[in-house]
């Protein structure tokens, strides 16, 4: 029973490490305070998510900025959408 437990633990550890490394992105020349500000902005994160979804499903870019009421939020949504869309396209293309 201990050999089975040790094998299961080793497999789980290997899978966990692989998943962590796969989800880690290294950003070169990124301003940490700027990145933290973008990570905290709901409109930017929403745009980033919707941009990634659109690119992954092969849709053309469609900026639905009407869902945000202020110009600042609309600008942040647009910036996030464009980044998410372009990053997803870059990940797909060889």
* Structural domain of 39: 29-92
In-domain check, residue 24: no
In-domain check, residue 58: yes
pLDDT of residue 90: 78
In-domain check, residue 40: yes
In-domain check, residue 2: no
In-domain check, residue 86: yes
Q: Which residues of 59-93 are buried (b: 16+ CB within 10 A; e: fewer)?
A: eeeeeeeeebeeeebbebbbbbbebbbeebbeeee
In-domain check, residue 12: no
Residues of the chain short of pLDDT 70, as ranges, are: 1-31, 92-94
In-domain check, residue 50: yes
Kindly report the pTM of this predicted structure: 0.60
In-domain check, residue 11: no
pLDDT of residue 47: 92
The rounded distance, in Å, linking the Cα atoms of 12 and 17 is 9
pLDDT of residue 63: 85
The number of folded domains in the chain is 1
């Amino acid at each position: 029973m201990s050999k089975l437990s040790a094998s299961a633990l080793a497999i789980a550890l290997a899978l966990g490490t692989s998943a962590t490394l796969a989800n880690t992105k290294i950003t070169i020349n990124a301003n940490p305070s700027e990145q933290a500000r973008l990570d905290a902005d709901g409109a930017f994160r929403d745009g980033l998510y919707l941009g990634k979804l659109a690119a992954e499903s092969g849709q053309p870019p469609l900026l639905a900025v009407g869902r945000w009421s202020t110009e600042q939020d609309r600008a942040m949504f647009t910036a996030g959408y464009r980044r998410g869309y372009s990053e997803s396209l870059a990940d797909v293309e060889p």
